[in-house]
Structure 1
């Protein structure tokens, strides 16, 4: 079975409490993200994976209010958190979404889910023309698909804390060990200067402003967002500055 696991916690070093800060209509970015996923992917089970820390009680309460599951696990060993979460809910394949990305592209997500269903692969996602996985980019539009078996293999192959904190890095940094399927990011997106992942207060403030337009669209696309942002030079200047300051 395929399920969506949203990685979320309150303890961000660069922007504490960013999951619950008022983002749109009194809702935080995590709630806005879950709303969109529930509306467009109602047939796919959704679980929030957070930590045992007291501050993340708020995330558990939010999940209860939104009638979705919440799994609590290790703060530092995120790989183990994902494995145990997937096992708890009987996910043999999972879609990993970072809650930092309220503008996740639903159309691309549906394609990813379908590819993960029909292909016997360890990992599926999008990458740039230079082979850089989008999870390492600043765009904020895409998720990752992973098999539970692949995550368990990573757990067996390495004890490195870096790979246990960053769930999928070992997979795409050791491609010979896994069966990967890549889709290509459209060139018009890659050529753009766009940053919509939310890591800092400056990211948050800009994303909050753009979201007011985004949420009014019936079926928003990346193209719609690019068109809107390209008409606002202030956004473009700020995004370019933030990209330079926050290279992944």
Structure 2
């Protein structure tokens, strides 16, 4: 069974509450992700993994209202949240999706799932290095790989970002990177900031069918390149920079404790 676990919380540092912000008159970012995933032929279940913080009660309410599977766990230790969620639902293969991808492409998801299954990988991704637009990346791992990472990860970055321990230890896991036919990594329709949401809203308003695929967006790009300039100045590395600082602080404290 292949489960897509979407990590979603209201406490985004750059755009608080973004997961329930509207991409059109009806659908929130979470709605859009769930709708896109319905067109995947290889995803069996979609599960929302949120935190136990009171501010995330609204996400639980959203899940109940829409009859969605959900789990609540640690806010900061997202690796533990994934592990406990996968354990509860007895997930065997996990597709990881942060809730910033309203325009994820279900055909890309299926291609990567298929590649994972054919080759018996522990972990496969599309960003080592990336050749897909930001907002369409895919990560897939086995429950056993997740459990190993959960047991052995110590650094804050490994606990927060779920999979760094796996791709930092290629000798411990069978890893692969799935490449696109052409490099589209310079483009982004992930939602990190308000300008990103504006771009997504413009894209959604120009497509009158579901699902919205990468090729649909590239057609808009070809016809209206100016609208894609709206989010050119968004810093995509803010989260990584914060994690690097936390790792350095963690290692310093560990060193001081051992003296």
TM normalised by structure 1 equals: 0.88
Residues 1:212 and 2:205 are matched in the alignment:
yes
Residues in 2 aligned to 1:51 and 1:218: alpha-carbon distance in whole angstroms: 30
Residues in 2 aligned to 1:42 and 1:60: alpha-carbon distance in whole angstroms: 25
Aligned counterpart, 1:196: 189
Give the direction of change, closer, same or farther, for the CA distance of 1:39–1:64 in structure 2 (3 Å limit).
farther
Residues in 1 aligned to 2:68 and 2:42: alpha-carbon distance in whole angstroms: 11
Aligned counterpart, 1:71: 71
Give the direction of change, closer, same or farther, for the CA distance of 1:221–1:126 in structure 2 (3 Å limit).
same
Q: Which of 90-99 and 179-188 deviates more?
A: 179-188
Aligned counterpart, 1:157: 152
> Which residues of structure 1 form unaligned runs of 5+?
none
CA contact (8 A) 2:33 2:102 kept: yes
Aligned counterpart, 1:187: 182
Deviations 1:27-82 (A, max 9, x none): 21011211222354486111100000111111111111221111000001111110
Which runs of structure 2 are paired with 1:225-236 in the superposition (5 Å)?
225-236=217-228
Aligned counterpart, 1:132: 129
Residues in 1 aligned to 2:43 and 2:170: alpha-carbon distance in whole angstroms: 31
Aligned length: 238
Structure exhibiting the larger radius of gyration computed from Cα positions: 2
Give the deviation of 1:229 after TM superposition: 1.7
Residues in 2 aligned to 1:116 and 1:25: alpha-carbon distance in whole angstroms: 36
Q: Which of 65-74 and 27-36 deviates more?
A: 27-36
CA-atom RMSD, angstroms?
A: 2.0
Residues in 1 aligned to 2:121 and 2:183: alpha-carbon distance in whole angstroms: 28
Which runs of structure 2 are paired with 1:44-123 in the superposition (5 Å)?
44-123=44-123
> Which residues of structure 2 form unaligned runs of 5+?
241-259
